[in-house]
Structure 1
Amino acid sequence: MKPTIYGYVRVSTKEQCEDRQLIALQEFSVPRENVYIDKLSGKDFNRPRYKRLMRKIRPGDTLVLKSIDRLGRNYEEILKQWRYITKEKRVDIVVLDMPLLDTRQTGQSLTGTFVADLVLQILSYVAQTERENIRQRQKEGIAAAKLRGVRFGRPRKEIPEMFWKLKTEWENQEITSRKAAEQLGIAQDTFLRWARESLTNVN
């Protein structure tokens, strides 16, 4: 059976237009009837047209994409689908926006699959490194802000005057911590923490 060329198009919402991707696939001579379109988020692969396409393609076929991010929302997902299509389904992939991502034979000693896999691994590494750098910069920024006295999280509840009277009654075993907390409208743990902190401050 002669290998078939398929195209896949994804737009994140029903309001977005797929024309730009369709034009690119048409210029590559992908038959319109072989183009599968999903108008859904890329957060997962529960996409009906994509699933139908995966059932349809056969070893030796070619899948054409306008850009690599049509396969998923991040490189971890993209790599997973890339391996599934090229290794398990044994289908070639052509990414029009990035000519190096073309697994078809180059006619040289190195195959297109090897070069494309290498490029995708590098892209994945760069994306992962950038995510780690962003997290590290965020941590360093938070640490620097704390040194400047910036407080994060919800502001601490101010201790009301009534607390001191109830604390004395609690220390004299005239009232339980739970009852004291109820009168203050706070959690029992909060009352006990305030009591501990007041002792620390005195010492």
Structure 2
Amino acid sequence: MTGNVFGYIRVSSTDQNEERQLVAMKERNVPGKNLFMDKQSGKDFERPSYKKMIRRLKPGDLLYILSIDRLGRNYMEIQEQWRILTREKKIDICVLDMPLLDTRSGKDLMGTFIADLVLQILSFVAQNERENIRRRQAEGIAAAQARGVRFGRPPRPLPPNFCAVHKAWRGKKITLQQAAKACEMPPGTFYSKAVKYENHT
């Protein structure tokens, strides 16, 4: 291997941190300038650091990733990116927790076949786990909502002058725009709050 050594790290919002991946990259002496990290979902490859890294890669370079699900969690896109990296970019990839996925070795027909097979299996597992996580999250949210748990930011309290402004607006003494401006909110927001206010008074 005559090219440069790169490392790619990805953590999603559900991961604790990137420390384990960073340690693995340091153990392989990946230079800091060649280490790229994204903090977002693996559902696709629309990630800024990944795209930046792709532009830097040259034939003969070596890319380390800790596990295939750090590359992504979309079965078809993992396959496509692997093809782009190994065949178009002509780089080697080493998946640290799966020695069979190291393109530096086993470049004969049997080695390529085994690597492709392992890649397909792990890509399937990565996407399947993502779908399971999403399903569990959806089930948890639905169960919480059934218990009366409300999500999102709590509604802001009405301004002190809302009652007087609302009365003036309903009495046609001021326009909706004037009422909204007096309460320092968009007209649409004032109107929706006015309707809720009337339904609860």
Q: Is the counterpart of residue 10 in structure 1 residue 6 in structure 2? A: yes
Q: Please, what TM-score do these two structures have when normalized by structure 2?
A: 0.62
Contact residue 4 and residue 62 of structure 2 kept, 8 A: yes
Task: Report the Cα distance in structure 2 between the residues aligned to 1:80 and 1:126, rounded to whole angstroms.
Answer: 16
Consecutive unaligned residues of structure 1, counting only runs of 5 or more, are 23-34, 58-62
Whether the 8 Å contact between 1:64 and 1:95 is mirrored in structure 2 is: no
- Kindly indicate whether the alpha-carbon contact (under 8 Å) linking 2:92 and 2:102 is maintained by their aligned counterparts in 1: yes
> For residues 150-179 of structure 1, what are the alpha-carbon distances to aligned partners after superposition, in whole Å with 9 as ceiling and x for unaligned?
222121122345323322221221111221
Q: 1:82: Cα distance to partner?
A: 2.7
Superposed CA offset, 1:65-94 (max 9, x none) = 665659x74365754443135545778867
SS at structure 1 position matched to 2:6? strand
* Alignment CA distance shift 1:191-1:92 (3 Å): closer
Equivalent residue runs for 1:18-29 within 5 Å: 20-21=27-28
SS at match of 1:149: coil
Given the superposition, is the C-alpha separation of residues 80 and 50 from structure 1 closer, same or farther in structure 2, using an over 3 Å criterion? farther
Alpha-carbon contact 2:73-2:130 (below 8 Å) kept: no
The separation in 2 between residues aligned to 1:49 and 1:185, in whole angstroms, is 47
Note the alpha carbon deviations across 1:16-72, whole angstroms, 9 max, x for none.
6766326xxxxxxxxxxxx999632153153499623x1xx4xxxxx87665659x7
Return the index of the structure with the highest Cα Rg. Answer: 1
Check the 8 A contact 1:181/1:191 in 2, yes or no. Answer: yes
CA distance in 1 between counterparts of 2:93 and 2:193 reads 64
**Equivalent position of 1:111 in the other structure:** 110
Matched pairs, number: 172
Is the 8 Å Cα contact of residues 65 and 95 (structure 2) preserved in structure 1? yes
Flag as ranges the 4+ runs of structure 1 deviating above 6 A: 63-66, 89-94
SS at match of 1:155: coil
TM-score in terms of structure 1 length: 0.62
Q: Does residue 1:101 correspond to 2:101, yes or no?
A: yes
Whole-angstrom distance in 2 between the partners of 1:138 and 1:99? 32
Deviation of residue 120 (structure 1)? 0.5
**Alignment partner, residue 72 of structure 2:** 74
For CA contacts below 8 A with separation 6 or more, give which structure has more relative contact order.
2
Give the RMSD, CA atoms, in angstroms.
Answer: 3.9
SS of aligned partner of 1:133: helix
Q: Which residue does the alignment assign to 2:34?
A: 39
Amino acid at match of 1:166: V
Q: Distance in 2 between matches of 1:132 and 1:189?
A: 37
Residue 127 of structure 1, CA deviation:
0.8
